[in-house]
Structure 1
């Protein structure tokens, strides 16, 4: 959904992780020790938050564990979910995992739709994070997809930046962070990957994108569900958000599928563009994106 359109001479490192393609671009080759540290950071995050692996903390809670050691990211991520919940009137929830599984987006990738299952209401009464513990008072399936990949991009950027001088881009297939020199990023058309609806310049910031044509299956099924109903979003086709860090940009890219997203973006100082399913393009006041509309 977003890719650099031009860049100075650089070293490129590509690899697969958490079910997607990563690309790290630096002005010098990434050292073996740094690559190992990146792999370790990604595996640690996956073992904590993935609902697709049986040995994760999320899987333990879904199985009825009750309380597990709190991941280091829990407070930042779940506090952001509180803001997302409030802004979208409950449309975004970290307990949407069972809703996604019911529509076929489960750990086995069956893609068999069993119908709409709303996420548990009042999730903050069920999911608690304090005193070094993460607790579910009733079994549920946590899914942090609304902002999790952005958070991991931030973590990987920090690892590489600690050992690398100069410009740096970490791109996790549509969620990317830039340190240093400006990068011109194409905003891929959600209905035609050969086209872009515009370009935007990103400097020392993050750009995250989301679209209903990615992770889609069946008849109109995709990964962006309204937690209140368990139904896929129908009005928005794609979103892009630019923020100081990838976690908040990723969160806004999710929020923009719902009413209240633009208001939260304003509160967080995040620039955005979104495209409706009928082809209209909307953007934030003062947007610096060059749009082909």
Structure 2
């Protein structure tokens, strides 16, 4: 997903959580604010990453117990629980063990350990209440479907607190755009990253995408797994979601792999586009984009 930058913007780029971040603002960011943004990303990764052995999530994978997370856990837990219920367990934060079974593990071995395994049932192993997460057995939590979006919103809050009312935060394709000027964003072709299948205009909203060609390995293996089977989803190949917050857009972009957008619209205020493996596409009437023919 490529964004067309607006004139008069100053850009600050850095690496964090294995992702390139680019923050564009009308004025140059002070050094202290740039440090706060980098530190916020590092702290989030230190709590939530299943790839860092010192994180809270890594501790949960080693031993059951009660764990206290930062304030964003309340939003993440409520959103994941709702989507878990709506999808019949297909979308779940407990998918980490299934991903590791297929080779997407902390060592990036990319070597499956055997057949796919379903994620455990939420109520059998997990109680998530606000900032507190209690487990009955070791579990591998993975918030990858919403975590990066959550972090974009946290950085946007830092900028707003510093008086930056206009900004664009680009976390390798997960975008938050605030301010009077819209941003034209190309929609990446799911089979050819050098091509676009359309363009969408984003203004005072977030746009997030999910695609089966990202974080893919082996024979048909990719990171979007159905929690009820532990196997990669085969129907949808790319999705986009526009919403007022990046955490919601990020989560719904993944949820579109498991549910029709028209069904999700009954519970969430957003617009969407889904491209399927047969080449067809579906989108909401309010999707502010144009698909190329």
TM-score range, shorter chain: over 0.9
Aligned residues: 291
The residue aligned with 2:104 is: 105
- In the alignment, the residues of structure 2 paired with residue 130 and residue 6 of structure 1 have an alpha-carbon distance, to the nearest angstrom, of 40
Aligned pairs for 1:144-163 within 5 A: 144-163=143-162
Does the CA-based 8 Å contact 1:154-1:247 persist in structure 2? yes
The residue aligned with 1:239 is: 239
Q: Cα deviation per residue 1:45-68 (whole Å; 9 max; x = unaligned)? A: 111111000111111111114112
Does the CA-based 8 Å contact 1:70-1:129 persist in structure 2? no
What SS class does the counterpart of residue 23 from structure 2 fall into?
Answer: strand
| Inter-CA distance 105–142: structure 2 relative to 1 (3 Å threshold) | same
Residue 266 of structure 1, CA deviation:
4.2
Does the CA-based 8 Å contact 2:77-2:129 persist in structure 1? no
Structure 2 length-normalised TM: 0.95
Tell me, yes or no, if structure 1 residue 118 matches structure 2 residue 127. no
Residue 132 of structure 1, CA deviation:
5.0
What SS class does the counterpart of residue 117 from structure 1 fall into?
Answer: coil
Does the CA-based 8 Å contact 2:73-2:130 persist in structure 1? no
- In the alignment, the residues of structure 2 paired with residue 235 and residue 201 of structure 1 have an alpha-carbon distance, to the nearest angstrom, of 27
The residue aligned with 1:285 is: 285
What SS class does the counterpart of residue 268 from structure 1 fall into?
Answer: coil
| Inter-CA distance 133–226: structure 2 relative to 1 (3 Å threshold) | same
The residue aligned with 2:222 is: 222
Flag structure 1 segments of 5+ consecutive residues without an equivalent.
none
Structure 1 length-normalised TM: 0.95
What SS class does the counterpart of residue 267 from structure 2 fall into?
Answer: helix
The residue aligned with 1:273 is: 273
What SS class does the counterpart of residue 279 from structure 1 fall into?
Answer: coil
Tell me, yes or no, if structure 1 residue 213 matches structure 2 residue 195. no
Residue 71 of structure 1, CA deviation:
2.3
- In the alignment, the residues of structure 2 paired with residue 281 and residue 208 of structure 1 have an alpha-carbon distance, to the nearest angstrom, of 17
Does the CA-based 8 Å contact 1:27-1:166 persist in structure 2? no
Does the CA-based 8 Å contact 1:28-1:164 persist in structure 2? no
| Inter-CA distance 84–260: structure 2 relative to 1 (3 Å threshold) | farther
- In the alignment, the residues of structure 2 paired with residue 244 and residue 214 of structure 1 have an alpha-carbon distance, to the nearest angstrom, of 24
Flag structure 2 segments of 5+ consecutive residues without an equivalent.
none
Residue 236 of structure 1, CA deviation:
0.9
Does the CA-based 8 Å contact 2:73-2:131 persist in structure 1? no
Residue 261 of structure 1, CA deviation:
4.5
- In the alignment, the residues of structure 2 paired with residue 262 and residue 158 of structure 1 have an alpha-carbon distance, to the nearest angstrom, of 30
| Inter-CA distance 82–76: structure 2 relative to 1 (3 Å threshold) | same
| Inter-CA distance 280–29: structure 2 relative to 1 (3 Å threshold) | same
Residue 206 of structure 1, CA deviation:
0.3
